[in-house]
Chains A and B, each alone.
Chain A
Amino acid sequence: EPEVTQTPSHQVTQMGQEVILRCVPISNHLYFYWYRQILGQKVEFLVSFYNNEISEKSEIFDDQFSVERPDGSNFTLKIRSTKLEDSAMYFCASSEQGLPYEQYFGPGTRLTVT
């Protein structure tokens, strides 16, 4: 069964550094999403992406964040200058069509900012 993959599984970085989290969505999916989950807390929407542009973003997704689909397979989340409070599990998701189609989630990247 096809699945969403994410790399790395764990990223440790120092405050102020840039990080890029990578995702490979399911190949025939057209809609892409990033969510994050701070340890023990709820899953929070960050951004959705369709047709090479951002469709919707949350208030969390400020100027420090950006997304890109640099080629036909990868979908990346960049955090320009990490803060301690960016420490969380970041999940990529994709869906074949837009909602109400279900989203398929990757296993996540645990980001630790020290």
Chain B
Amino acid sequence: AQSVAQPEDQVNVAEGNPLTVKCTYSVSGNPYLFWYVQYPNRGLQFLLKYITGDNLVKGSYGFEAEFNKSQTSFHLKKPSALVSDSALYFCAVRDSRINTNAGKSTFGDGTTLTVKP
């Protein structure tokens, strides 16, 4: 079974400050990890993913995420938040051991990020 947890429903930061949105996961094998962002009345938009290799992954809009195997975490970060980053963020996991490529990703509950001017 695969699962993902986003422990914070809401994260508030001031513009210009660093932001972190937390994600922890559970899989039997090695994880494939994804971050998506959802703006109001829009679909999910891919930000970045970790498959293998460097633990620090860089993605769109200046976001990055660090894979930490010992802590089973994949926290999303940005050094300097913008008001336009305000949105709903979803972490997703997929167990690499599942032998169908067309299987599901499991999504977290989502974290609402609010960046105040």
- A98 nearest CB across to chain B (Å): 2
Known interface pairs A43-B90, A55-B100, A100-B32. Does A107 touch B42 (Cβ–Cβ under 8 Å)? Answer: yes
Q: Name the interface size band of chain A.
A: 20 to 34
B51:A43 contact, CB within 8 angstroms? no
User: How many angstroms from the CA of A35 to the CA of B107 in the assembled complex?
Assistant: 10
The residue among B34, B90, B100, B104 with the most chain A CB atoms within 10 A of its own CB is: B104
A102:B49 contact, CB within 8 angstroms? yes
Known interface pairs A91-B44, A102-B34. Does A42 touch B109 (Cβ–Cβ under 8 Å)? Answer: yes
A103:B105 contact, CB within 8 angstroms? yes
B43:A45 contact, CB within 8 angstroms? no
A107:B43 contact, CB within 8 angstroms? yes
User: How many angstroms from the CA of A104 to the CA of B108 in the assembled complex?
Assistant: 17
User: How many angstroms from the CA of A41 to the CA of B108 in the assembled complex?
Assistant: 10
- B70 nearest CB across to chain A (Å): 21
Chain B residues contacting A35 (CB-CB under 8 Å) are 107
Instruction: Count chain B residues whose beta carbon lies closer than 8 angstroms to a beta carbon of A.
Output: 26
Chain A residues contacting B101 (CB-CB under 8 Å) are 31, 50, 55, 97-99
Known interface pairs A105-B43, A105-B45, A108-B43. Does A99 touch B105 (Cβ–Cβ under 8 Å)? Answer: yes
Partner of B46, one of A45, A55, A104, A106: A104
B43:A99 contact, CB within 8 angstroms? no
User: How many angstroms from the CA of A48 to the CA of B105 in the assembled complex?
Assistant: 10
Chain B residues contacting A99 (CB-CB under 8 Å) are 32, 94, 101-103, 105
- B27 nearest CB across to chain A (Å): 12
Using CB atoms and an 8 Å cutoff, list the residues of chain A in contact with chain B. 4, 31, 33, 35, 41-45, 48-50, 55-56, 58, 91, 93, 97-100, 102-108
Add 11 more A-B contacts to A100-B96, A102-B34 (CB < 8 A).
A33-B102, A35-B107, A43-B92, A43-B107, A45-B105, A45-B107, A55-B100, A98-B100, A99-B32, A103-B46, A105-B45
Report 16 cross-chain contacts, Cβ distance below 8 Å, ordered by A residue. Answer: A33-B102, A33-B104, A35-B107, A42-B109, A43-B92, A43-B107, A43-B110, A48-B104, A55-B102, A56-B102, A56-B103, A98-B102, A100-B32, A102-B34, A102-B49, A106-B43
